[in-house]
């Protein structure tokens, strides 16, 4: 028989056990109070400004933890055979500099980066000028106009590219031309350079030389064995994400406030970019999409695919929806273009010395079905598409003779393929970008 005393003792034990259970199930920092200048990370008080510099060369496996800020001074190269692993919630800051002193993280061919953040704890690459502290996802002192504060992230692989002169490998732009670690390209479409997941790259684009800046994320010859999903580039001086050939697929990408192009495709990139958001404006910005095809007769069979995107012009100073330039090959489908006063541009070329014979270019690919646009929506433009040629006097004269017919036929084809002018009813699923700096700043419209 239970007495009152026994019930009392059992209640005390139960409460004690419940208390232990509650503590063990709580967050590690729930009951931790840190001194000023310190932040709780996984239950420990870490100095806000605690940092360490990365080595210039990473030749063996290295892991970066989120309990201190890691600094890139100059070029940091992950060499072939080495893997750089970055914990969720880690902050990496690049020092300011230009030319040979510009800071960048380069994953060379044969090297790997495993950067697996989460929506709650993204991995952030930013500038040492950014006052973001440990445990935070945003600083307070830099804004969308603060670019060129460091370099960017460069990943190089052995997947096929179509470089000039029939070359199957090349040196990546944004790096000094005599550095062998800048080589990319090869014959392995399934090449694996690692993982980028929930990674934000901010305030980059350092200048290497005249007209040569580092992109936010540069992908040179990166293969399908590489996983890239949920990535952000914001406030970069040059392009947001640039693809130099390769086959890698990218899912859920967002680029805002880039200085040049948001997504730039070169050297016959042959992967799929699915669900992307672009928001840009200001004096320096250029196209949302800049697309080029093969540069030679090497690796011409592949084709890009752009699916389910939203491209927004925050203003109409110098913003263009897209320029399909040299010999582009691929599919653009389900994209919403909002706020642009100009149309998509597709280039054609002529030989003035051969009775204005039209040469192979993006327009010929469009006419022959190798370049196609399906079910895209244009909210703000006057027409769906504009065919153009270079302003060389000879070519310009050739084009002017056929411009009206070419543009009329192109608009008819666009309409047949389901492209429409009016309010967008589709585009990107922007809810997947709630984790980004762009979402915190209200740049997603």
Domain assignment of residue 14, yes or no: no
Domain extent for 198: 39-441
Does pLDDT of 17 surpass 50?
no
238 neighbors 209 (Cβ within 8 angstroms): no
Does pLDDT of 71 surpass 70?
yes
Residue 35 pLDDT: 67
CA nearest 69: which of 113, 119, 124?
124
Q: What are the tens digits of pLDDT across the range 314-356?
A: 987 767 899 999 999 999 999 999 999 889 999 999 999 999 9
- Split at pLDDT 50, 70, 90, the class of 213 is confident
59 neighbors 80 (Cβ within 8 angstroms): no
SS3 265: strand
Counted domains in the chain: 1
Q: Which residues pair with 125 in a beta bridge?
A: 92, 201
Domain assignment of residue 8, yes or no: no
255 neighbors 263 (Cβ within 8 angstroms): yes
Residue 27 pLDDT: 77
Domain assignment of residue 10, yes or no: no
Q: Is the dihedral of CA 390, 393, 398, 404 positive or negative?
A: positive
Q: What are the tens digits of pLDDT across the range 386-409?
A: 999 988 888 999 999 999 999 999
Residue 26 pLDDT: 66
SS3 399: helix
Domain assignment of residue 13, yes or no: no
Domain assignment of residue 16, yes or no: no
Does pLDDT of 230 surpass 70?
yes
Does pLDDT of 95 surpass 90?
yes
- Split at pLDDT 50, 70, 90, the class of 211 is low
Q: How far is CA 110 from CA 113, 182, 186, 224, 299, in A?
A: 10, 12, 11, 14, 21
pTM for this structure? Answer: 0.89
Q: Is the dihedral of CA 98, 99, 101, 103 positive or negative?
A: positive
Residue 198 pLDDT: 99
Domain assignment of residue 391, yes or no: yes
Give the span between the Cα atoms of 375 and 383, in whole angstroms. Answer: 15
């Amino acid at each position: 028989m239970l007495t009152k005393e026994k019930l009392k003792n059992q209640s005390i034990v139960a409460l004690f056990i419940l208390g232990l259970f509650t503590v063990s199930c709580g967050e590690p920092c729930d009951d931790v109070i840190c001194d000023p200048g310190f932040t709780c990370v996984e239950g420990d008080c870490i100095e806000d400004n605690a940092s360490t510099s990365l080595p210039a060369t990473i030749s063996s496996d290295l892991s970066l933890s989120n309990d201190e800020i890691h600094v890139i001074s100059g070029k940091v190269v992950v060499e072939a055979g080495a893997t750089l692993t970055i914990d969720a919630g880690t902050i990496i800051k690049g020092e300011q500099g230009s030319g040979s002193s510009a800071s960048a993280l380069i994953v060379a061919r044969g090297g790997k980066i495993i950067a697996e953040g989460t929506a709650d704890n993204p991995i952030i690459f930013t500038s040492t000028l950014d006052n973001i502290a440990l445990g935070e996802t945003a600083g307070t002192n830099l804004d969308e106009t603060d670019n060129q504060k460091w370099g960017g992230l460069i990943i190089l692989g052995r997947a096929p590219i179509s470089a000039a002169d029939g070359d199957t490998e090349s040196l990546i732009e944004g790096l000094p031309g005599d550095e062998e670690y800048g080589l990319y390209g090869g014959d392995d479409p399934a090449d694996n350079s690692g993982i980028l997941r929930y990674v934000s790259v901010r305030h980059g684009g350092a200048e290497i030389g005249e007209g040569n800046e580092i992109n936010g994320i540069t992908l040179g010859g990166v293969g399908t064995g590489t996983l890239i999903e949920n990535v952000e580039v914001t406030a970069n001086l040059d392009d947001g994400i640039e693809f130099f050939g390769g086959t890698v697929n990218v899912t859920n990408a967002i680029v805002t406030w880039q200085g040049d192009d948001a997504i730039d495709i070169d050297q016959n990139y042959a992967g799929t970019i699915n669900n992307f958001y672009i928001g840009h404006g200001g004096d320096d910005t250029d196209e949302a999409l800049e697309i080029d095809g093969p540069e030679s007769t090497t690796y011409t069979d592949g084709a890009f695919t752009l699916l389910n995107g939203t491209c927004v012009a925050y203003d109409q100073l110098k913003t263009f929806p897209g320029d399909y330039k040299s010999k582009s090959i691929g599919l653009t489908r389900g994209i919403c273009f909002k706020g642009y006063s100009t149309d998509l541009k597709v280039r054609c070329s002529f030989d003035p010395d051969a009775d204005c014979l039209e040469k192979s270019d993006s327009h010929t690919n469009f006419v022959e079905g190798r370049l196609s646009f399906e079910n895209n929506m244009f909210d703000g433009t006057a027409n769906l598409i504009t065919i153009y040629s270079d302003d060389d006097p000879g070519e310009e004269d050739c084009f002017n003779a056929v411009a009206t017919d070419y543009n009329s036929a192109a608009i008819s084809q666009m309409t047949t393929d389901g492209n429409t002018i009016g309010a967008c009813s589709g585009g990107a699923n922007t809810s997947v970008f709630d984790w980004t700096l762009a979402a915190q700043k209200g740049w997603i419209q």
